[in-house]
Every structure is written in structure tokens, then in C-alpha cells.
Structure 1
Amino acid sequence: MTGLKKLGVDVVQITHERVQSELEALEINIPIYYVKDDWLQLAFFRLRLNWLLAVYGSWLLHVKARVIAQATQRNLIHFTSPISPTLPYFKMGPCPVVIGPLNGNILHPPKLLFREALLKRLGALALWPYQKTIGQIFRGKHAATLLVSGGARTIKALKLAGCKDQNITETLDSGVDVAIAEQPKVEHQGVNHRFIFVGRLIRYKACDLVIRALADAPEAVLDIVGDGDERYALEQLARQIGVADRVVFHGWVQPGAQLTQLFKGARAFVFPSLAEANGIVVQEAMMIGLPVVAVNWGGPQQLIDTTNGILIEPESEEHIAHELAKAMQSLGNDPQRAEAISSAARHRAQQLGFSWPMLLKSWLRIYERVASFD
């Protein structure tokens, strides 16, 4: 929101009371209105009724947004959450509405569905009747301009709910912080066998496949940045296959100088996530000039190609681990190849406008178009 203010937009923010202390600590210089966290939201949370919590929370935000828009004479409302194309939005009345970026509706690749949670697989089977029903009941998306970053899979889910092509505009999921965008590109010289993984340590991120790959890449050293439920199992795996001395678990690292230095010290970013709807960390790596080695699936697939990264076909766990090892060995020993991919990645990041100011300017053009049609 502060980025929009810098572009001259008279902006106010509406969010939930539960994040008030965090936002106040940031000292954001824009008006912020908070939706009270009531007993019903707390009950849904404690009972783990996540769908009801999301829908009820969304309804409260809609009510608050309608009141604030009228009181402050807003000429456009932009909902940035919920981001799922399957969660409902409510009609807002006369004020033009932009929703998104929307993203989601992603499963594991077909040959790796055994790693997917059973409940999620069953949910995918119900997508068609669910979206048809939700689309008839909740009409908020039908009258809005929809920003979509999830590509064809997200558009498909929206169309099942009755949304039309003319309401859909594709965009990036998120921007890259200016501090990263303005960093000099990493220059790849000499041999470098240090690699980095950044992400939550949960099953679908597939960090275990990178660790397994180290067995076939004897010179590679891996920095793992992130934390999560899988950390203990990953540490055990590293010990069991004899690569623990080449794996450094950093835990969560706050964005800033320390994380940037870890990026700069690596030869490549290895990211075999199997159900990545977006690719924000991929955008960051590309912007800083770090070659990305990822699975040819989901968000990373939309951002990189064979000229500005390395994509691995999701044939099997063994295949991915083998190809990760091969990529690490090749890039580690070949600075010319790493530099060529690095330059192409940086060019792609700049061409597509990965930085927040450039992304917000593209959204601003959408705002102007939407408001002019009112």
C-alpha cells in the first residue's frame, strides 16, 4: 500500500484486527481500518473450520470496505485476499472492484500424486460441482476485474464458477523488494559448489529431494533457509545418507542483508517444490542473478525456461534427485554456463517487471481502466 501511495494514489487499507500490532510496529503512513476479531471467528479457528473462517472473515472485510468506501469517497476497492480462486467474494454495489492476484488450484504432478495429502486429492475431484455451486451463490467475482497470477489452472477454476474472459487480467503474483531489485547482479566466476534452498520446510516443498541429490553431487554444499514441520526429518535424512557435513540449516532468516549475502554466495538456487502455486522466491533469485533449478510445474514453470534457468521434468522422486545432482555438478564446475543463465534470468526479471514499483505501475494502469468504465 505504501508503494501505491508513493505513486500518488490516495489509498487506505482495511484488514483484520489480529495484525494490528504488527502493522503499527511498521509505522505505515497510511490510514488503516481494522475489522474486529469477534467470538465467531475465534470459534471457527479453534474448531479448525478453515473454510467457514475464510468466508466469514471475507464477509466482514466486505462490509467494512463498503462502509469505508462510502465514508471516504473511494472510487475503487482492491481486495488482495483471499487469494484462492475457490473462495467466495460478495457483491459490493456500485463501487468498481479489483480482486487478486488470485492463484491456486494446484496439485502435485501426476506421477508424484502419492506425496499429496488424500484430502486435497479428494477435494480436487469435487472442484467442478463445488465451483459451479459457489459461482451461483456468491456473485462477487462476476462483477469484478480479476487479477490472475496462477495461469491456466487458476483461470480454469474461475471459469467453472462462471467468470468470463473479459473480467480476467493476468499479472505477477507479487513484486520483488526494491532492495533486492537494485542489487548488482551476481557475477559467476570460477568453481563454486555452494547452493541454496529457501522455503518453508514442509512436504510439498520437497527439500528432501535436494538433500538426496547431494549423494550424487559429492562436492556440493547446501544452505537451507527456512523452518517448518519437516526440519527434524530432513536433518535425520542428511545424517542417514552421509551428507550432514555438507548441509547447513540456517532456520528462518529475515529478509535483508544476511539473506542477500547467502544468495550472493551461492552458485544456484535449487527449488524442487512440487505444488508451488506462485514463485516469489524464484523471482527474487532471478532478479539477483542466481540460476534457478526447479521442477517443470506450477509457478516456477511460468517464470523460467531453458534459457534463464533449469527445469526438471517431474517423472519421479529418483529422476528429480538425479537431475538436481547433475545440474549442481554442471553449474558448480562451469562458471560460463552459470553466468549465461544468470544474465538471462536478470534480463527476464527486468523485462517482466518483477520489482514492486514496476508491478504497482501495471496495476495502476488497470485501476485507471476499471475506474473509467464505471
Structure 2
Amino acid sequence: MTDTPTPTPTPTPTMPLLVILIAPNVSEQMGGEAMKALQILREMRRPLPETLQVTHERNATEVRRLRLDGVHLVEDTWLALAIWHSVVLRFLLGPWFSWKAVRLAERLADAHARQGTKVLIHQVEPNSPVMPRWLSRRFPNVLGPVNGNIYYPAPFRRHETLSASLRRQWHMPIQWLRRWQPFRRRGAELILVAGGDRTRRSLLAAGDDPASMVDTVDCGVPEALLDRPRIEHHGVNPRFVHFGRLVFHKGTALIVRSLAHTRLKIELDIVGRGPELDRCRALAQELQLGERVRFIDWYERHEDLIASFQAYRGMVLPSLEDANGIVVQEALALGLPPICLDWGGPQLLIQHGVNGFLVDPSTEDAIVRGIAGHLDALAADPGLAERMSQAGRVAAEAWRWPKVIAEWIALYRKLATQAS
């Protein structure tokens, strides 16, 4: 008797998918959100090379410089210019751009989508849960990663500007009012939530469907960073680094103050520029810290900054209102244990005592002394630093951009199937 060969299964064809991304800025020159939007576009085009991008015409020069194709620009109109010049109505520019961008995306979908192709419109930025967005009635809508809803901890609210104080106090009432906005016909079919419970509460107050919400990371980590050798820790090392724009909410002065409370002669390199630079220089002099604090203007290339991390035991960022913390992700990916506040984005990235330390922002004095204690612990204990370094790399592996994008595309396909 002859065995009958088992037939080879016919592979299931992949659903043709056209994703149209929307972001006000896609650039290396316009801050973190613009950079993140650019990374998403580039990473999305690896598995989905026909992905299109809609952005504002102010990005035209940057689009040409970066040699990006498939990017379509929303042009300013007399209405947008009038809103801009009015100053008091500038808050309407976000909804205006969203309305124009979605209409352009719908026209692009008609022009580019072949028969059988499923189209999704993904508004990547802005990441605020409060910003009103226009939604397509013809194609499924994706929003996010949505984050935001982060304000100063209570001990620092005396430093808030009037506008920041009003935004904090009116955040939830405004979200309740959003339920009755005239152009809010329905919620988005998929909302990528990067701010955890604080963002979910905000979205729920605005009437968004909890079934549409899926947790994700705010930003992925580039492959090149995770492919670098992890920093290994040996012996006593009192050197730490703080880097980024030197503004009040980054908490640079808190780190300088903490050095006056350490048992060891901890050394701190502050890399960056900004309005807090002179204040921190004066503070270091007042506390007689001498050579323990070094101010490094900046590195011409980000690659050079990353290469310098090999010399340090850890990084410190006691930020008061970062919704994510890309620098924290970078530190974890490289194996540099971070010390941050148990607040905002870092508290979603760091496992306290596992891959870094979180300090309770109960009072300024508690923060300063808490940072000092963690600096001493890490500097003196190479075993602790090495365990945290290994755990940081493991955590960051889940943030590789290809993994993040693959998870999003799986959600896209599920949504497209449901919409069929």
C-alpha cells in the first residue's frame, strides 16, 4: 500500500493594507514629537513600503532634505493664518490641521488604494488626550500613541505658570465637555494608549470607548541602539550623567543639590544647554562641589553622546512632567541604570529596584535625599549596577521599533477585518 503524500497547505494571502499617517510635524529639527513621527514613518515603511504621510507644509524643506517620498503637505489657508495671527484662537490650529489632514488622507486613499486594499488613517500626533481631532467617516481611524495628562507634582506647583495651572485644573472638566463637541460624531476605532491609567482616565472622561483602547509604548527604540554592546559595570564608579535641554522641569538643580548629601564623592556630568545652566553653575559653586560637577556644552553628534555613556555608572533624570522619557529608554537599552522620579513617563518605564530607581516626589527634600541615597548605592555596588544593567536591556528589547510596529500592524489588520 502506497502512502498518500500530505498536500502542502496553500498559504493564506496577506490582506493588502494602506496606512496613511498624519502628524503636524515630521522632522529631525522640531523637537521630540516631530522626531518620533519621523521614526514611525521610516519604521512603518519597512513592512509596509507604500505607507503615506500627511504633514504641514512648514515641513517641506525638511522633507526634501531627508529625501522622503510619499509625503503630502497640508497647505496654510487664509483661515489658518487668521487663527494664527489672532493669538487667542491659536488653540484652534490643532483641530484645523486635523480636519484638513483627514480630508487630504481620504483623497489619497481614493487615489492610491487598489481594489481589495484596506485603508486606515492613523493620526500619530499630537499625543495629547485633550486635543480635539477630526475623524474620517469613510475609513477606520487610529489615534496615538496618546499620552500627556501630566503636570507638576504637588510640591512644585508653586513653580507652574498660570497657563499650566489652568490646564491642570481644567483638564478633566474640558474632557467631560468634549462629549458634546459638535464635530465629535464618534470615537476612533483604535486608540493606542501610552500614558497608562492617567491617560485612560482622561480618554474615558471624554467619552471614548474603553474597548477601543490598547496599551502601547510611547516611542520605540532604534535597532542600532539595542545592537550596541551593553555597558558592563565593574568596581566602584562614582560618575553619573544628566543630559538634555536644561529647563526647570527636568530637575537638574535637584541632582546638583543631592550631591551635598552623598556619602561618596559622587561626580556628575551635566550635558546640555538651556535657561537653567547659569542657575545650576551658581548652585554648584554655592554648595562648594568643585570638580564634582562638570558642565559639558553638548556633543555635535548623538553618536558621540551615546559613546560617552561607557564611562558612567548611571544616569539621573528627576523630571517633573515628562510624559514618556526617550532618554530613559536609551539609558535602559544601553545598560545604564536610571534614577528618576516616581512620576510621569519614567514610572511606566522603570521597575524600581530592578532596572533602576524611582524616587517618591513627596517633598523637595525627600527627592534630594532619595537621589543621594541611590547615587551612593549604585556607585558603591557593581553587582547591583550590573544586575540593573542586564534587566534594563531585557526591558528595552520589547521596545525595538520593529516589534512595536509589528504589534501595531497586527492591530491594524484586526481592525480592517472588523470593518469589512
If the length of structure 1 is used for normalisation, what is the TM-score? 0.93
Q: 1:229 aligns with which of 261, 275, 285?
A: 275
In the TM superposition, residue 197 of structure 1 has moved relative to its aligned partner by: 1.2
Shift of the alpha carbon at 1:234? 2.2
SS in 2 for 1:195: strand
1:56 and 1:104 mapped to 2: Cα distance? 20
- Please name the residue that 1:96 is paired with: 140
Q: Which position in structure 1 is the counterpart of 2:315?
A: 269
Indicate conservation of the 8 Å contact 2:143/2:188, yes or no. Answer: no
CA distances 1:183-229 after superposition (whole Å, capped 9, x unpaired): 11100012211111123211111111011112223622222233323
**1:92 to partner: Cα distance:** 0.6
Q: Distance in 1 between matches of 2:293 and 2:101?
A: 44
Identify the residue that residue 36 of structure 1 maps to in structure 2.
75
Aligned-partner Cα distance in 1 for 2:186–2:223: 31
Provide the rounded CA distance (Å) in 2 between the counterparts of 1:197 and 1:140: 46
Q: Secondary structure at 1:22's aligned position in 2?
A: helix
Number of residues paired by the alignment? 371
Within 2, Cα distance between the matches of 1:326 and 1:255?
33
Task: Indicate conservation of the 8 Å contact 1:69/1:77, yes or no.
Answer: no
Contact residue 143 and residue 190 of structure 2 kept, 8 A: yes
Question: In structure 2, what is the equivalent of residue 71 of structure 1?
Answer: 111
Q: 1-side partners of 2:192 and 2:269: how far apart? A: 35
Report the CA distance shift for 1:8/1:58 in structure 2 as closer, same or farther (over 3 A). Answer: closer
Gapped runs of 5+ residues in structure 1? none
Q: 2:201 aligns with which of 145, 156, 162?
A: 156
Helix, strand or coil at the partner of 1:104: coil
Match of 1:178 in 2: 223
Asked if structure 2 preserves the Cα contact closer than 8 Å seen for 1:308 and 1:344, the reply is yes
> Which residue of 2 is the match for residue 26 of structure 1?
66
Shift of 1:43: 5.0
Q: Counterpart of 2:22? A: none
Amino acid at match of 2:377: S
Q: Which position in structure 2 is the counterpart of 1:366? A: 411
In the superposition, relative to structure 1, how do residues 119 and 362 fare at CA in structure 2: closer, same or farther (>3 Å)?
Answer: same
Deviation at residue 45 of structure 1 after TM alignment: 4.3
The answer to whether residue 100 in structure 2 is matched with residue 56 in structure 1 is: no
Alpha-carbon distance between aligned partners in 1 of 2:47 and 2:163, rounded to the nearest angstrom: 44
Q: Does 1:147 align with 2:187?
A: no
Q: Could you tell which deviates more after superposition, 186-195 or 232-241? A: 232-241
TM superposition shift of 1:255? 5.8
Read off the aligned partner of 1:31 and give its amino acid letter.
G
Q: Structure 1 residues 371 and 185 mapped into 2: Cα distance closer, same or farther (>3 Å)?
A: same
Structure 1 residues 361 and 207: CA distance shift in structure 2, 3 A: same
Q: Deviations over 1:52-77 (max 9, x none)?
A: 22222222222222222222226111
Paired residues of 1:99 and 1:141 also in contact (CA < 8 A): no
Q: Deviations over 1:251-300 (max 9, x none)?
A: 44466321111222211011101112112211111111110111111111
CA shift in 2, pair 1:315/1:72, >3 Å? same
The answer for the alignment partner of 1:313 in structure 2 is: 360
**Match for residue 24 of structure 2?**
none
Instruction: Calculate the aligned-residue CA RMSD, in Å.
Output: 2.0
Distance 1:244 1:277 in 2: 33
In terms of Rg, which structure is larger?
2
| Residues 57-116 of structure 1: CA deviation (Å, up to 9, x unaligned) | 222222222222222226111110111000001121121111100001112223333233
Q: Which amino acid is 2:240 matched to?
A: F
The structure with higher relative contact order (CA 8 Å, sep 6+) is 1
Quote the Cα distance in structure 2 between the aligned partners of 1:177 and 1:255: 16
Q: What's the offset of the Cα at 1:40?
A: 4.5
Measured after TM superposition, the shift of residue 370 of structure 1 is 1.2
Q: Deviation at 1:174?
A: 0.3
Matched, 1:303 2:349: yes
Give the CA deviation at 1:39. 4.9
2:407 maps to a residue whose letter is: S
Quote the Cα distance in structure 2 between the aligned partners of 1:129 and 1:37: 31
Q: Which residue does the alignment assign to 1:335?
A: 382
Distance 1:58-1:328 versus aligned 2 partners, 3 A rule:
same
On the 8 A contact 1:85/1:154 being kept in 2, the answer is yes
SS in 1 for 2:62: helix
Cα gap change, 1:190 to 1:300, in 2 (>3 Å): same
Give 1 or 2: higher helix fraction.
Answer: 1
Distance 1:289 1:65, change over 3 A: same
TM-score, normalised via structure 2 length: 0.83
Pick which of 218-227 and 142-151 moved more: 218-227
Quote the residue 2:246 is aligned against: 201
Q: Distance in 1 between matches of 2:185 and 2:288?
A: 54
Residue of structure 1 in register with 2:337 after alignment: 291
Q: 2-side partners of 1:140 and 1:299: how far apart?
A: 31
Structure 1 contact 90–140 (Cα < 8 Å) conserved: no
Structure 2 regions of 5+ residues with no counterpart? 1-40
Kindly indicate whether the alpha-carbon contact (under 8 Å) linking 1:279 and 1:299 is maintained by their aligned counterparts in 2. Answer: yes
Distance 1:332 1:143, change over 3 A: closer
Partner Cα distance (2:383, 2:87) in 1: 51
Match of 1:215, SS?
helix
